[in-house]
Every structure is written in C-alpha cells, then in structure tokens.
Structure 1
Amino acid sequence: MPITNSDTLQDLFELKTIAVVGCSATPGKAAHEIPAYMQRHGYRVIPVNPFHDEVLGEKAYDSLADVDEDIDLVNVFRPSSEAGEVVDAAIERAQTRDDVKAVWLQLGIRDNDAAARADAAGLDYVQNKCYKVEHARVVG
C-alpha cells in the first residue's frame, strides 16, 4: 500500500535487508552515498548493478532474481521509465520467495501504475522520497 505517514515509514525502517537496484560504485552519486548511509546505520545493503562485481564492499548482483538471500525492501535508483519493471521483479520475488515486503522509489522516481500493482500484491510502496532524508527525519 502507498506509504505517506511517519508511523508507517518507521515500520519500513525496521526492515533490515535492502536490495538497492541501480546502486552505484561512484562516490558522490546519490545511488552510492545513500546506500553507504544505510550501511552506516546498520542495514544490510545488497547492490543490484550488472556492471559491477562489488559495490560498497558487497557482492553486486545482475538482477533481483539473481540475489540468493532474502530481501526485505527493494530500493530503486533507476529512471521512472524503468521503475515498473523493477517493481514487477520485486512482486515476483514476493510471490515466489515470500521475502520482499516493500518497494521504495527514490526522490524523483515515480510510477503510479507500478504503485497500483505493488498495492494489489500486498507490498508497501513509497515513491518520490529520499530514503536518507526520511530516515533522518523519522528515526533521527
């Protein structure tokens, strides 16, 4: 379901294993700095980037389907035009592996059709919000 209030965001921040689709190996990019922030705050970050073998000291995977450990939340750093296919992959994992509980599209990324599909699949869904900003605001 679409998440809009701080109490529900707090629940998402209790999900500790985060697959970051589009995680960057380039320091200074948001897709690198925000996952690094997640790591510093005790989250297990699983990079999903087909162009790297390792990001942030963690093995990088080509796709969500390739990740062999359980995922709690999928955080998306891809253009809005690609977000729907990532959301569909998250829904597929949730239905076949029963692991993904939520999808988070970073600031500037939105797909309302994908939001409706995620909601229908029972996944929590955030779009157009920065994980780091919201974490600092809600958790402190």
Structure 2
Amino acid sequence: MTETDSVVEKILRTYDTITVVGASAAPEKAAHRVPAHMQAHGWRIVPVNPRADTILGEPVFRTLADVPEQVGLVDVFRPSGQTPDIARQAVAAGASALWLQLGIASAEARAIAQDAGLLYVEDRCLIIEQRRLGLSAPTP
C-alpha cells in the first residue's frame, strides 16, 4: 500500500460530506456522475459552481467562501491550472482535505495544501477508490 493509498482510505473513512468544486448539472459529465455515485453511497454533497442553482437536489454555492458551514473535504473537477487558486480557497475556508480528481494534478496546489496541513490526493477518482475499498460514507 502506498502513502497515497493510506491518505485515500483515511479520507473516505473520515469525511461524510464532500464539497465538490466544479460540480456539474450535466449528467453526462464526470463532475456530475462522480458526486451522484458518492451521494448514492451515503456521502452528502455540497456543490460549488458559479452557474447552477441546484445539483443532485442540493443548493449550489458560487464559491468555497460562500459555503455557510465548515468545509472538510474539497473534491476538485477543474483544470490543473486552476487548482493552486482552489487550494488557497480551500485553506481559507478551513478545509482539512483536498482531492483532485483523475487527470488533475498540480505541484503548486500540492505544496499549498501540504504546507497548510491538509490531507492531499491528486489524479485519483473517488468512484474508483470507493469501489476498491468497498466503503460507504462514514456515519456522522
């Protein structure tokens, strides 16, 4: 088991809510399918998208700063070049974990997150990891 595998398992066993930056209302997009899958397995989804009002039956917030509750796990569906700014926003929002989805990676975002003490995963898919570990959301 790699260090990343350990962090992945810790995140999936710890967080019952996933704040999804770049969540999509379009069912054909991974940014919709992945949160929908996680929601179906018990995780609460808090969508962040500047152009939608409701995604997966949940109210959408324009930015991480607009989320009115404590943010824990931030899952990112945005291009790698945007992730350093998202990492800074996650730190400012008090997040404790940052997850960049499959195909998304950034040395700068990783440094920002790790310097702030966040758990960090990049280039991994929540669905793949959830299935591999056979987990459902932890009970709050």
TM over 0.5: yes
Q: Percent same amino acid at aligned positions?
A: 44
Structure 2 unaligned regions, length at least 5 = 136-140
Q: Is 2:69 aligned against 1:69? A: yes
Matches of 1:42 and 1:117, distance apart in 2: 30
Are the aligned partners of 2:84 and 2:109 in contact in 1 as well (CA < 8 Å)? yes
Is 1:109 matched up with 2:104?
A: yes
Q: Which aligned pairs between 1:1-140 and structure 2 lie closer than 5 A?
A: 4-13=3-12, 14-94=14-94, 100-139=95-134
Once residues 5 and 126 of structure 1 are traced to their aligned partners in structure 2, the CA distance between those partners, rounded to angstroms, is: 7
Q: TM-score scaled by structure 1?
A: 0.90
CA deviation profile, 1:103-127 (whole Å, cap 9, x unmatched): 0000111111110111110001000
Is there any run of 5+ residues in structure 1 with no aligned partner, and where? Answer: 95-99
CA distance in 2, matches of 1:109, 1:7: 19
Shift of 1:71: 1.9
| 42-51 vs 7-16, which moves further | 7-16
> In structure 1, what residue type is equivalent to 2:86?
V
* Count of matched residue positions in the alignment of Structure 1 and Structure 2: 133
How far did 1:60 drift? 0.3
SS of 1:125's equivalent in the other structure is strand
- TM-superposed deviation, 1:51: 0.3
Contact 2:87–2:113 at 8 Å: present in 1 too? yes
SS at match of 2:15: coil
Instruction: Return the offset for 1:93.
Output: 1.3
Q: Indicate conservation of the 8 Å contact 1:48/1:60, yes or no.
A: yes
Tell me, what secondary structure is at the counterpart of 1:46?
A: strand
